[in-house]
């Protein structure tokens, strides 16, 4: 793998928050997985384009990306393959798409994917980490993040807050009235120097083994164990599908 970037697409979650949107079991039932749902579009081969298929396709267009690794549930590779356009599985036309089992949390799933990449030779020098449930990521945003990695070791897209945030206590009473300026919503893809983010995840796993703590994104892991994280403008359309109503 001569390209400097690898891409990790996270798709190992249970999609538990999607299920209330599908009260009648039907074809989706309790096992609905949001990354495998159709976006109501077709790919170039006339096959229904899934959430995961759209997300992976955006990264497969970049020659700087030498491999794409998708995290999947245990024994979930076949279902993930079925959710992808066939052209993505033919590595002659783009980077190879590989699969690895996820862990019990998003952070542990990313850690497993990073360790999987480290076992390949040569390992990438940089890695992009993206939510498989963000199908509307644009090539322009991916390029913006990768270009920023020429200057920084850690970069994430950020969008401004449009509503005034409040900090509340356990009973729902407001503790602080926060200012929108200086705050933003983190998006993916998030990009990092590969050896450092792998070591940061190793240290995060060690801390999780000692304490009750949770890391909500990879920028938090980097920030705690490596240092500052640079930002570039995100995109409002690059939203994450969490609930059934988020689908078109």
Q: Give the model's pLDDT for residue 30.
A: 43
Tokens of 122: 């040569």
Phi and psi at residue 162, to the nearest 5°:
-105, -10
What residues are paired with 5 via a beta bridge? 65, 126
List the end-to-end C-alpha distance of the chain, in Å, as a whole number.
37
Per-residue pLDDT tens for 210-247? Answer: 998 999 999 999 999 999 999 999 999 999 998 888 88
Q: How far apart are CA 43 and CA 83, in angstroms?
A: 11
Element (DSSP H or E) covering residue 239: none
CA dist 205 to 101, 158, 169, Å? 17, 26, 28
Residue with tokens 């999609």: 15
Confidence of residue 137 (pLDDT cuts 50, 70, 90): very high
Residue with tokens 């503790």: 175
CB-based contacts of 213, cutoff 8 Å, min separation 6: 207
Per-residue pLDDT tens for 152-164? Answer: 999 999 999 989 9
Q: How far apart are CA 66 and CA 27, in angstroms?
A: 36
Q: CA angle, corner 82, sides to 10 and 57, nearest 5?
A: 55
Tokens of 129: 């980490």
Chain-centroid distance of CA 138 in Å reads 14
What residues are paired with 130 via a beta bridge? 9
Q: How far apart are CA 32 and CA 52, in angstroms?
A: 14
Q: Could you state, in order of their start, the residue ranges of all structural domains in the chain?
A: 5-155+187-246
Residue 186 has pLDDT above 50, yes or no: yes
For 74-229, where are the E strands, in sequence order?
A: 97-101, 126-131, 154-160, 166-168, 174-177, 184-186, 190-193
Per-residue pLDDT tens for 29-58? Answer: 445 789 999 999 988 888 889 999 999 999
Q: How far apart are CA 210 and CA 113, in angstroms?
A: 22
**Residue of higher predicted confidence among 92 and 42:** 42
For 5-155+187-246, CATH number out of 3.90.400.10, 1.10.3210.10, 3.40.50.1820, 3.90.550.10 equals 3.90.550.10
Q: Give the model's pLDDT for residue 19.
A: 54
């Amino acid at each position: 793998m001569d390209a400097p970037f690898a891409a990790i697409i996270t798709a190992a979650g249970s999609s538990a928050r999607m299920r209330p949107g599908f009260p009648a079991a039907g074809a989706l039932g309790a096992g609905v997985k949001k990354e495998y749902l159709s976006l109501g579009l077709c790919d170039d081969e006339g096959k229904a384009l899934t959430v995961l298929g759209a997300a992976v396709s955006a990264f497969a267009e970049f020659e700087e990306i030498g491999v794409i690794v998708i995290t999947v549930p245990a024994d979930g590779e076949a279902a993930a393959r079925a959710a992808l356009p066939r052209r993505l599985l033919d590595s002659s036309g783009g980077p190879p798409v590989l699969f690895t089992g996820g862990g019990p949390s998003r952070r542990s799933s990313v850690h497993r994917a990073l360790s999987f990449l480290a076992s390949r030779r040569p390992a990438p020098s940089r890695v992009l980490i993206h939510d498989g449930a963000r199908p509307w990521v644009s090539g322009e945003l991916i390029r913006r993040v990768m270009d920023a990695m020429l200057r920084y070791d850690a970069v994430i897209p950020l969008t401004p807050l449009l509503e005034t945030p409040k900090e509340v206590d356990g009973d729902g009473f407001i503790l602080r009235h926060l200012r929108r300026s200086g705050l933003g919503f983190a998006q993916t893809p998030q990009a990092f120097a590969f050896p450092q983010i792998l070591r940061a995840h190793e240290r995060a796993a060690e801390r999780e083994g000692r304490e009750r703590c949770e890391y909500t994104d990879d920028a938090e892991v980097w920030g705690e164990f490596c240092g500052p994280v640079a930002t570039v403008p995100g995109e409002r359309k690059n939203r994450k599908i969490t609930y059934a109503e988020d689908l078109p």
